[in-house]
Amino acid sequence: METPFVFVVDDEPGIAMLCDRILSRAGYTVATETNPRKAIEFLKETKIDLLLVDIRMPEVDGFEVIQHAQRLQPDAAVLIMTGHGTVETAIRALRQGVDGLLLKPFSQGSELIEAVKLALADSRKKRDAARTQALRPLFSVTESLLSETRREPLLDLIINAVSGHLKCSQAACWQWDDAGGKLSQITPQHVETSSAFLDLIARADATSAPLMIGAQGPGDPAIKTLLSDLQLGSVILVPILRPNLRLVFHAARTADEPPFRDSDMEMFQILARQASAALENSRLYAEQLDYVRRIEESQKALIQAEKMATAGRLTASIAHEINNPLQAVQNCLHLAAREDLSEGKREEYFDLARAELERLMLTVRRMLDFYRPGTSDLEEIDILEMLQYVITLMSKQLAEAGIDVKVEAGESIPPVKAVGSQIQQVFINLILNAADAMPNGGGLAINVRALKGGVEILFQDGGKGIPKEKQSSIFEPFFSTKEGGTGLGLTVSYNIISARGGVLELLSDRGPGACFRIFLPAGENQ
């Protein structure tokens, strides 16, 4: 801890020397002055911790010296000493914010030392109390900064917070531009600055240390002249260096405004650190949004690519499903054209043709839904009806492969809310995977039952199953256990089910063969 610096101002040289001797022996750093005007000049150039001043002095009294000290060094403690202690003097001292009063002559040195200790302690308590009071609204400002993720509104909030808490007329934020190799202003309200002031900001950035400079008081004369030329009374510069962020915050008060104090600098440093954290959060949030957007676009492309691959494998079944009603329509129309046919029979053939055409239109409509990439509206789906439709659609292909599909369903299967074409795609993928796992034919058991909060569907094939060492990788993109597979079917299916808040998993303890489990939340739980 640094030794407190005590500045003694008394027009009596004997008193000044006595104070110097007593306080120096007690471990304080001491400077003395008998001329109050020279004392004011000293305060402009040298930082002190405590002013010990006599009240009654010729030309300039102690209260005037105190006024200058509080303007030039507002964080310094003030202790007055007088041989004419009156109630009026005490009241005036209190009004002027004095930290202690000592009567002369001192009966012993311990009185002076004790008075100095108390004045320093009281001054510290006042500063701490003021700091605590200032920190309360700072918490709400910090919360508002960290909750804003858009860069431009966030910069507005930062400047308003700095201007409001420091009560300054000028505030700005500068960011290092790697491309241009210079600091550029990023805050919306542009602040005009000179090249010399930019050099000052660059100096703070280079040293990575905060600076507080006043046009009056101690400091570099060249900088003080610069501030006077810019009609500024005081300025604080706070550089912030983070791995992906290099900033300098600056706040300035005009010559007409009171100069910044040490407590202002502490407040500004806290605000600058919180602001930089909020700006970094904003940057990371923007990157995350962009990443999520790209992932969503990739996922849509992945789903569509797998749709096209699955559609190629379904060509035979689609052709069969379309050809049958077309053949029936053709036969009905041929028979209805016979001249010897009765009106009742002809009407019957026309009704059959209409029914087959409606069946054909439904098939085409569902296949269009399957192909169409933009179809993403949620709807209530009857799982059993959707499952039966997919099996019917694939019936020819499954029959040719020797696959016998059996569906068992429990009672009261609730509807689920999902995108119909996507759930259809998942069922097709799992059924085709099961068929591929049984090249010589076999059985596929599909069990559907209602569970608490949703529906469970199990797909159990009679193949060889999936080796244990490969089970952890089956949902990864482009991983396939079969020759010529795309490795996307299970990945796309997993993403579709997960997006609806469901679960797609491999039950490794269910054999022989592979057993895939789907759980989809019921419509009211979506």
In which residue are the tokens 């997960």 written?
498
Q: What stretch of H or E contains 151?
A: helix 151-166
- SS3 sequence, 3-38? CCEEEEECCCHHHHHHHHHHHHHCCCEEEEECCHHH
pLDDT digits (tens, 9 = 90+) for 41-77: 998 889 899 999 988 887 778 888 888 888 888 888 8
Whole-angstrom distance, CA of residue 96 vs CA of residue 77: 12
Q: Is the pLDDT of residue 367 over 70?
A: no
The angle that helices 13-25 and 109-147 make with each other, rounded to 10 degrees, is 70
Whole-angstrom distance, CA of residue 266 vs CA of residue 75: 12
Please name the amino acid found at residue 274: Q
Is residue 362 very low, low, confident or very high in pLDDT (cuts 50, 70, 90)? low
User: Which carries the bigger pLDDT value, residue 218 or residue 58?
Assistant: 58
- pLDDT, position 457: 95
Is residue 373 very low, low, confident or very high in pLDDT (cuts 50, 70, 90)? very low
> What DSSP line would sit under 193-207, residue for residue?
--HHHHHHHHHHHHH
In which residue are the tokens 């199990």 written?
458
User: Which carries the bigger pLDDT value, residue 374 or residue 272?
Assistant: 272
Q: Which residues pair with 417 in a beta bridge?
A: 380
- Contact predicate 165/138, CB 8 Å: yes
Please name the amino acid found at residue 189: Q
pTM score: 0.41
Taking residues 155-172, what's their average pLDDT? 84
Whole-angstrom distance, CA of residue 355 vs CA of residue 273: 74
Whole-angstrom distance, CA of residue 447 vs CA of residue 454: 14
pLDDT digits (tens, 9 = 90+) for 500-524: 889 999 998 887 889 999 999 986 6
- 209 token code pair: 């240390």
Whole-angstrom distance, CA of residue 143 vs CA of residue 497: 37
- Contact predicate 514/461, CB 8 Å: yes
Query: What is the set of domains in the chain, with CATH numbers?
Result: 5-131 (3.40.50.2300), 148-285 (3.30.450.40), 314-371 (1.10.287.130), 374-525 (3.30.565.10)
Is residue 374 very low, low, confident or very high in pLDDT (cuts 50, 70, 90)? very low
- pLDDT, position 467: 85
pLDDT digits (tens, 9 = 90+) for 234-271: 888 888 888 778 888 888 888 888 888 887 888 888 88
Give the residue among 454, 432, 437, 400 at the shortest CA–CA distance from 511.
437
Taking residues 274-279, what's their average pLDDT? 84
Whole-angstrom distance, CA of residue 171 vs CA of residue 187: 9
Q: What 3-state class would DSSP assign to 380? A: strand
- Of 17-26, 89-98, 131-140, 442-451, least confident by mean pLDDT is 131-140
String of b and e for 189-217 (b: at least 16 CB within 10 Å)?
A: eeeebeeebeebbbebbeeeebbbbbbbb
Q: Is the pLDDT of residue 176 over 90?
A: no
- pLDDT, position 505: 92
Whole-angstrom distance, CA of residue 194 vs CA of residue 455: 71
- 515 token code pair: 């057993």
pLDDT digits (tens, 9 = 90+) for 2-35: 789 999 999 889 889 999 999 999 999 999 999 9
- pLDDT, position 75: 83
Q: Is the pLDDT of residue 280 over 60?
A: yes
- pLDDT, position 408: 92
Taking residues 317-330, what's their average pLDDT? 69
Whole-angstrom distance, CA of residue 329 vs CA of residue 342: 19
Q: Mean pLDDT for the chain? A: 81
- 135 token code pair: 């920190």
Q: Is the pLDDT of residue 434 over 80?
A: yes
The 10 Å Cβ neighbour count of residue 312 is 8
Q: Is the pLDDT of residue 212 over 70?
A: yes
Q: Which residues pair with 81 in a beta bridge?
A: 54, 102
